[in-house]
Homo-oligomer: A and B are copies of this chain.
Amino acid sequence: MKLGFIGLGIMGSPMAQNLIAGGHEVRLSSRSGAPRALVDLGGIACASGREVAQGADIIFLMVPDTPHVEAALFGEDGVAAGLSEGKIVVDMSSISPIATKGFASRINALGCRYLDAPVSGGEVGARNGTLSIMVGGPEATFATVRPLFELMGKNITLVGDNGAGQTAKVANQIIVALNIEAVAEALLFAAKAGADPARVRQALMGGFASSKVLEVHGERMIKRTFEPGFRIGLHQKDLNLALSNAREMGVSLPNTATCQELFNACVSHGGAGWDHSALVRALELLANHEIGS
């Protein structure tokens, strides 16, 4: 199948590579040009999104944020300029659910179909083809693209109409951040009360407090292993999507707002590159006490 891939960074490159490895002809475009390694594997370097869209039936995007998707689709020499009826645009970036609905209708107006399909699983999942993919869009379009998703991911869910994939991703990032903050409050409380946070965590696993975050991020807090993982700077971007979309829709997210403030505090202490479990450090500053000390 003739595919296109726009945005070839840390995530996009291995995802495009898995599509090439699946036997597809993949046209490539990126701000910094197509990586040599992908061209060596058979990828076709293009000068613009327009050129990619002209030569491909299904065009994937994997760029940092909402404005980058808008520019890649509708900017000068963008994808829209190269589309013709029947083609499919698949945005795998993590961006605004509300903006996504607008992008989808503008693409639909050109006689083309649109899927939003953000992922979780990070760089490792992108390399190993084990990403979770949350999809919004028409069922028939999902069925068409599904075999390609299967080259990049494992847990692939059609959540609903356009925007629903991005909505699910934001919901995911809200829960992960708030569960990290929950474990941080609980373990710091325990440490300051003189209990061993590691034994408290152990006693809580398996009960109603159990979570993937208690298991993974709780251990990072105790062992002080704050190499990412998932960077605070990226989680800030995701919580910004949550908070700005919530504001636009009229939804109050009080604990998401607090988490964002605590991430902000980490950044002001040099922590944009720390793993998001290091959110505990902001609470430790306030308590003048460190877990494990």
A residues sitting closer than 8 Å to B (CB atoms) are 97-98, 120-121, 132, 134, 136, 155, 157, 159-161, 163-164, 167-168, 170-172, 174-176, 178-179, 181-183, 185-190, 192-196, 199-200, 202-204, 206-214, 216, 242, 245-246, 249-256, 258-259, 262, 283, 286-289
Q: Which of B155, B185, B246, B251 contacts A174 (CB 8 A)?
A: B185
Partner of A199, one of B159, B204, B216: B159
Output the nearest chain B residue to A211 by Cβ-Cβ distance: B211
Of chain B, the residue at the smallest CB distance from A204 is B172
User: CA A49 – CA B69 in complex, angstroms?
Assistant: 71
- Assess A181 versus B178: contact at CB under 8 Å? Given A157-B199, A250-B288: yes
Which residues of the other chain, B, contact A172 by a CB distance below 8 angstroms?
186, 203-204, 207-209
Give the nearest-CB partner of A134 in chain B.
B203
A187 CA / B256 CA spacing, docked (Å): 13
- With A199-B160, A212-B209 known as contacts, the answer to whether A287 contacts B171 (CB < 8 A) is no
Q: Which single member of B134, B200, B208 contacts A176 (CB below 8 Å)?
A: B208
Cβ contact within 8 Å between A200 and B159:
yes
Residues from chain B with a CB closer than 8 A to the CB of A202 are 157
With known contacts A168-B200, A195-B159, A251–B189 Cβ distance under 8 A = yes
CB neighbours (8 Å) of A161 from chain B are: 194
Which residues on the B side are within 8 Å of A206 (C-beta)? 132, 155
Q: Which residues of B contact A167 (CB under 8 A)?
A: 189-190, 193-195, 200
Which residues of chain B are within 8 angstroms of A186 by Cβ–Cβ distance? 170-172, 174-175, 178
